[in-house]
Structures are given as C-alpha cells and as structure tokens.
Structure 1
Amino acid sequence: MPRCPAGAMDEGPVDLRTRPKAAGLPGAALPLRKRPLRAPSPEPAAPRGAAGLVVPLDPLRGGCDLPAVPGPPHGLARPEALYYPGALLPLYPTRTMGSPFPLVNLPTPLYPMMCPMEHPLSADIAMATRADEDGDTPLHIAVVQGNLPAVHRLVNLFQQGGRELDIYNNLRQTPLHLAVITTLPSVVRLLVTAGASPMALDRHGQTAAHLACEHRSPTCLRALLDSAAPGTLDLEARNYDGLTALHVAVNTECQETVQLLLERGADIDAVDIKSGRSPLIHAVENNSLSMVQLLLQHGANVNAQMYSGSSALHSASGRGLLPLVRTLVRSGADSSLKNCHNDTPLMVARSRRVIDILRGKAARPASTSQPDPSPDRSANTSPESSSRLSSNGEKPLPTSSPGASSLRP
C-alpha cells in the first residue's frame, strides 16, 4: 500500500468535484521562451519535508513538494527532466552571448558545452539564426517580448555575420512584421535602420505599411516612413486583395494613418485591382462620413468610377445614405453619370429624400456649353397655357405653337 505524504492527512478529505481550479498565469499556454517578460516575484518560503529538512523548489518541475534529489556532480549531464533546449537559452557562455543572456529568466545551465569554442562568433550567429518548431528565431521572440537590448544584441550579431534580418517564420512573418503588429515603433525604427526591408510580404501579401494601417498604428507607420531609405518604400504596393495601404487605412477608419499617408504622397485616387474602387468609394460603402469629408478635403475625385462604371454617388444613392448623398452633391458629384447597366444614380435610388436631392441636382447639367432651355420655356408660357394640362398629365404646350397665338392680347 503506498504511503501518504506527510501532512496530507491534516487537510482532511478533499472533494475533487468542488475543489476550485488553480488559476493559471497569463500566457501559460505559450512555450516558456515565448512568454512576455515579467518582473520576478518574491520567492515563497521553502517547504519542510517529513524529517524537517528544507526541500528547495524547482521552477522547472512546477515547484511541487518533492523529496530532495541529489544533483549530479559538476561536469556531468543534467537529468532529462531538467534539460530545457530553448532557442533563447545559450548552450555555453561566450563573449557575445554571455551574462546579458538568456532572454528568459532561467537558471544558468550547468551541463557541459555543446559546441566547440574555437569560433565563438560563428557559434553565436548559428544560435541567433536557429529556428524553433514555429520557425521563430531568437530575434522573432525578442521582438514579441519587447526586449529592446536583446534586439540590439541580435541585430549586431546578424550584421557581423552578414545575415539578412528578413527571416520568415512558418506564418511568413519577419521580425519587422511582428514589431509592427505588436506596436513597437522603437523596434521598427531599429530594424529598418539596420537593413530590414519594409517591402517584405507576409502570407497575405501585405507590407509593413499595410500592417501598420490594419492595426491602426500611426506611430509605427511614422517610424517606418521616417526610417526607410528613399526609394525603398512603395506606398502604392497592393496586397493579395488588390488594396493599397491607403485603402486599408480607409477601411479601418483611422484618420491619423490616412492623413499621414496623404502627407507622404500616397495616391488618393488609387483603385484596387479587383473592383476598381477608389478610397473614396470604399469610404462611402463603409458609411464613414468623416472619412469621406477628409478625402474630399484632400482633393479626391468625386466622380471616379469603378470597373462597373458606378461612382461614389451610385453607391450612396443605392444604399440610401442621405448625409453622404448631400456631401457628394455639394462637392460636385455628377448625377448624370451612367454605369455599365446604363443606370444613373437617380435610377438606383430607393429613398424618396435621396431622389428629391438628385432631382434638384439633375436640373442643372454638368456641361455649361449648351444653354438650359427650361427658363426660356417658362418665360414664354402664359398663365392660361400653364394651367391647362391634359388628362394624362402632359406638359402644357409653349406659346410659340400656332394655337397659342390667340391667347395673347
């Protein structure tokens, strides 16, 4: 019969169905080397064994109350249960990856050296570029953890070894992509200045500028634009959905990123590849009045048409967006434009109020080369002829007709 540990009988019977579950630490599901760095907590008091001996807590074994196990003598391999082959844990003390490492708070390894010491720099570079099962290198993990000193040290190793900083993990993310996603402008500036390419594409075809706009991070976008060398950053690059960075910024409705892109020369009338929509049409279809006003203030083409021939006024009229229709009409939108189905904005409108606004605008044609005959017609029409309407609702005949001359005094 197995013996019960000392002190277990003092607690009394425990009902496993009512015992509260132990609260897990945030990020406990992540591998230990990829968890965010935290301040070390005060060490708990060491428990006492059955004979009154102090049993040290082993952090790698969960800190449970176990009998003391004599450690191996110096120079011998550590037990397999205590061995931690992490990508950030140096296998040996070297000149470049010595005391400031490891990145995670683990005890100094006591097992023997795993690599020869003839070429410490080459071994350090090999360790810095070694990927784990997710394809993440120590640089990826240092960026995610926000460990700026470690990023500095790893970037120096990459530069000394002539390695590129654009290393992809299994999700086709470079360290620069992760720096933008985690909103670390200082890391973005460091990586771009050190030679990381701002045009590297992720698995969705997005550059670092696309990611900064998608995650609504104007600080990272500004750091990217300020740090990139002239001619290395193309703001008109499309992702796999055919969208530029300005399209993405408009769709996320972040006015700061839109303003910043327009100040740096982004094409305000660039069309997406799939449908030919301009950023203004995207803003109208998102029903974003503030974004529409911002684009119009910066000179967006209000009559730009997509591949189907529809304009922003077509989209606003068909959706019954009255404030947007008013804004577009006041900005000079042409209500006589026809799409590929030969429909004008008035023909696709369903709201009576939208129709009234469009009819008021349609009375004035876009071209002023031909005079409008309606004022002359109303001026030459007598009150008697204007009051006489046919039973089917036809317009009255003008006074220039032969039968209307007798009405004049």
Structure 2
Amino acid sequence: MTELHQAAAAGSFDQVEEILRQNRCDPNQKDIDWNSKTPLHWAAAKDHSVMPFPGHAEIVRILIEHGARPCLMTEHGWTAAHLAAESGRLAVLRLLHSLHAPIDKEDFCGDKPVRIAEIYGHQDCVGYLKKAETECQAYRKMAAQKGIILDDTDEEWGEHGKEKEESRISQSNTRTQA
C-alpha cells in the first residue's frame, strides 16, 4: 500500500493533494495485498463526511484530476462506483457520473453498482443509479458515433477476468462430469 493509498483511505485531502502535486505516487497503482484496490477505490468507499471539509467526494475529484482512472477494477471486478454503491456514497456516485466514469460495469459475478446498492439497502443510490445507468449507456453510444474515445475499460482486468471465468467454467464442468 503506497502513501497515496493510505492518505486516500484515511480521508486526508491535504496529504492526497500534496502527494499528487509532487508526483510521489501513481494514482492508478493497484495494491495486490488489498484486492488490487487503487487509491480511488479507497476514496470512493470511505465515508469522510465526519472529517472537516472537503470530504470524500473531493478526494475522488482530485484523484481523477490527477489521472486516476475510474474504470480500473479490483481483483473481483469492482470499480470505484461499486465501492461507493456498497458504502452508500451518493455524492461520489454523482461525481463519478458527472465525469462520465463507467457506473454500469459488471463485476466478476455479473453485478453492477446498482445491484450492490440494492444489496446494502442504499435506496437513494439505487434510484440514482437506475437513472444514471441509462444516461451512461446513452453517452457511451453517442461517443461511439462521434468517435470520442472513452476510458471505460480496465484492459488488465479484462484479461484477468477472462482467465478466472474460464477456470470457473472448467471447474464447473469437472464437477458435473464427476
């Protein structure tokens, strides 16, 4: 875990800002000891509303302004939106959506952030995500038509996810044959 991961997890806006300003850490580094979470994953999941201003949404914003990619996934396929949905962070979900982050990606089990919000009972997030998913898909379609390149795919996880899925299918077939 880098000092940027730690600062984002702790909700220390000033420390996050200083680390980013000095280019001391890559905002997209995945921590293999913590399920490949990036600093953005930590910031999206944590509730820093009890901390003095600026709070968790501003940490998410500054990370993205410094190149953090909201499409990056943990080893289980969770984006920052999944973690915000799990924790009921509506302000973070609104921010991610306003920045055209992918808020409708499926994880390894096929669950989107809206499903995660449903599981954890965050009805305000569920209502917002249902509307935002439609807007996200419409924006993605418009971008494709206009040739706008979107950063909405974690290429590394895509390969990792395919390998895991093939392994799961193979194990399932082996059990069925036994």
TM-score by length of 1: 0.29
Matches within 5 A, 1:10-409: 136-158=1-23, 164-169=26-31, 170-171=33-34, 172-183=36-47, 184-226=56-98, 228=99, 230=100, 233-266=101-134
Instruction: Give how far 1:145 is off.
Output: 2.4
Matching residue of 1:84 = none
Cα distance per residue 1:274-323 (max 9 Å; x no partner): xxxxxxxxxxxxxxxxxxxxxxxxxxxxxxxxxxxxxxxxxxxxxxxxxx
Partners of 1:235 and 1:266 within 8 A in 2: no
Q: Which amino acid in structure 2 is aligned with residue 204 of structure 1?
A: H
- State which structure, 1 or 2, has the greater radius of gyration over its C-alpha atoms: 1
Give me the identity figure in percent: 27
Q: CA deviation at 1:217?
A: 1.4
Q: 1:225 to 1:236 in 2, by over 3 A?
A: closer
Query: Structure 1 residues 181, 235: CA separation in 2 closer, same or farther (over 3 Å shift)?
Result: closer
| Structure 2: gaps (5+ residues) | 48-55, 136-178
Question: What letter is aligned with 1:264?
Answer: A
In structure 1, stretches of 5+ residues that fail to align are: 1-135, 268-409
* Closer/same/farther in 2, CA of residues 191 and 253 from structure 1, 3 Å limit: same
Q: Give distance in 2, aligned partners of 1:206 and 1:168.
A: 12
Contact conserved, 1:192 with 1:224, CA < 8 A, in 2?
A: no
The structure with more helix, counted as a fraction of residues: 2
TM-score normalised by structure 2 residue count: 0.63
The count of aligned residue pairs is 125
CA distance in 2, matches of 1:265, 1:243: 13
> Match of 1:257, SS?
helix
**RMSD, aligned α-carbons:** 1.9
Q: 1:202: Cα distance to partner?
A: 0.9
Shift of 1:204: 1.5
Q: Deviations over 1:138-189 (max 9, x none)?
A: 111112222211111111122xx8x741111121111001111212111011
The alignment partner of 1:264 has SS state of helix
